[in-house]
Structure 1
Amino acid sequence: MSEALKNDRFLRALRREPTDTTPVWIMRQAGRYLPEYRATREKAGNFMALAQNPELACEVTLQPLDRFELDAAILFSDILTIPDAMGLGLSFAAGEGPRFAHPLRERAQIEKLAVPDMDGELRYVMDAVSLIRRELKGRVPLIGFSGSPWTLACYMVEGQGSRDFARLKALCFSDPALAHQLLDTLSRSVTAYLVAQAHAGAQALMVFDTWGGLLGPAAFREFSLRHMQQVVAGIKADPVARELPVVLFSKGANAHLAALADTGCAGLGVDWTIDLADARAAVADRVALQGNLDPALLQAPPEVLLREVRAVMDSYGKGPGHIFNLGHGVTPEVDPEQVRRLVDEVHRHGRVLRA
């Protein structure tokens, strides 16, 4: 897969190299806000059947690129594929989010966990990556991703979504050695998973630490940051994956941006609760920044949306290293025309900033 990229803005921005305009992609850009996605999901029968079918996963990955002038594609999958491959029995109830049939509630369950076989239970993911990369034909780079060890553990111990994931936090404080055993197994699993995606054709890798912000400062460093560092180091040890930029997105962890930048990642996702100028100062321009429009603004009047898009870009300021994105994923209620307005305005205003 050595085809030349027709649009390399995203990768250039991650290297903090000059670009003709600001690159943009959107978390959950393939999703329920698109009628064509809803039609494909209905054809598949349910979310898991869609995610585990490489042809259909490829189809929905490409759908937003056929509508919008996006600068990157991201693999259509779910952050919980690893624990599902470990035998926890993932399912999605309508309107209720993910559930595991076999949550981790006993020491023996944690001690029995092993790194899944990337050519076995997770082969469908690698097949999807390879197919998407071929079908892109160099239009834009392809992002592979995983949930972070901490975030995966949150769901695996709780068994479903939660506002505070108190079960895992209690385990960390009552039996930190067992918690680290779980997180270490997940760190090795996430590393193997992302390395396999790199070998399958991904051109950048992202780690979603969705629930890192639930932890206090010391606990974040011990139970989240430490294991993301382990993942980045493992990626850097692979001769193929080490060439790919890694982006870490730890939602709600803005106080730790400098420490996250120290992991050796190329970029950091930033949520909407911090000004990008402050985030840029915190990392001292050592890494690229991705973000950080509040997703709710996609439901604001068009003139408000465009004003706030420009405000985010102006906050980052001039110079390389900004990738426009939302501070979290696009929501199902959004009008696709609002996404078009956002993407077009990012490219327009990005050229103004470079004039």
Structure 2
Amino acid sequence: MTKLSPRALNRATLERQWLTERRTATALEAVEHLVGMQAQVPLSPYVGLWSRLASFDPSELASLLENRQAVRGSMMRATIHLMSSRDFLAIRPLIQPRLEREVYANQTYGRKRLEGLDMDAVLAAGAARLATSPATASELREHLQPLWPDRDAPSLAHAVRCLLPTIQIPPRGVWGRSGNPTMSTAALWLGSDVTPTPSIDNLVLRYLAAYGPASIADAQSWSGLTRLTEVFDRLRPQLRTYTDATTSRELFDLPTIPLPPEDLEVPTRFLPEFDNLLLSHANRTRWLTSPDHKHLPLQEAMTHGAILHDGHLAATWKLTKRPQKSATLEIKPLVKLSRPARAQISTEAEHLLTFATPSTTTTEIRYL
């Protein structure tokens, strides 16, 4: 099998992620190609789409949410994801085992707090409350507590949020607006229940199309699911295989997708908090500067936003808006930046400020 270097994996993944050039696709096409976008920070998908699409207008995604063509709900890794509505209905049942672990193994809300509880009755009570109107977590707790007065109300509400196919409805996640996380269910919000016969094989193939070449462990890290070996074994005859030159692990890919050249020049890109590119592989050396850069603050890169230069993590960023119509974009280098690298990062930072703060009169780029 062909051995793939970290650089080869880097270029392949960036191209699959639409980060080698901005694409002329719709926001809905991009969200579906990426098999959803992490959205626990409500507006982060807007920056993620801006980095991937040519002429992206935030109102396009806002309209998808308001018109119910896209939704935000608990999905991969038991975290909030932006999905197309049809993907949410088709994929949500497959993620149920991960969400069950989130409930029953959770140290704060699960374990003994739910022991001996009739969970079917709890879910039925939660569904009945949501049928009357969308509800916040607080409102769910207020409804459930009198029914189980000897139980922990936050644990009951958490179980309902995770075990039912709940959706966080607008205005949460809509550009230019805000609101507390307010839940409904797929059946109530979309007028359709989740798919009764979802395809795990199709999910794995779509993962490889957007994140491959990848190992079984990579796919499990992305989805939060376990025991995917049997799925890859079943799909093996229709997959291409490589070897990771660094770890010697077997990598899988779709045979119809060629790999880009290792010397492909790639642009500087700003990624939002928790962008899926940074979270969707067990082995993250493909976007680190080198395998021995273990000192890099990876958690900071995920919670503040990451800057990729030459396809690798080079800095973090944070945008601060002020009431006086001013904004500051702070950039914290994580590696030594050359003068050309700083120039490219600064140019892309100016473009980000134009996109994210169109009505701001005073902007500043500050290196920390």
Question: Structure 2-normalised TM-score?
Answer: 0.28
Flag the structure with larger Rg: 2
> Structure 1 or 2: larger strand share?
2
Name the structure with the higher helix share.
Answer: 1
- Larger RCO, structure (CA 8 Å, separation 6 or more): 1
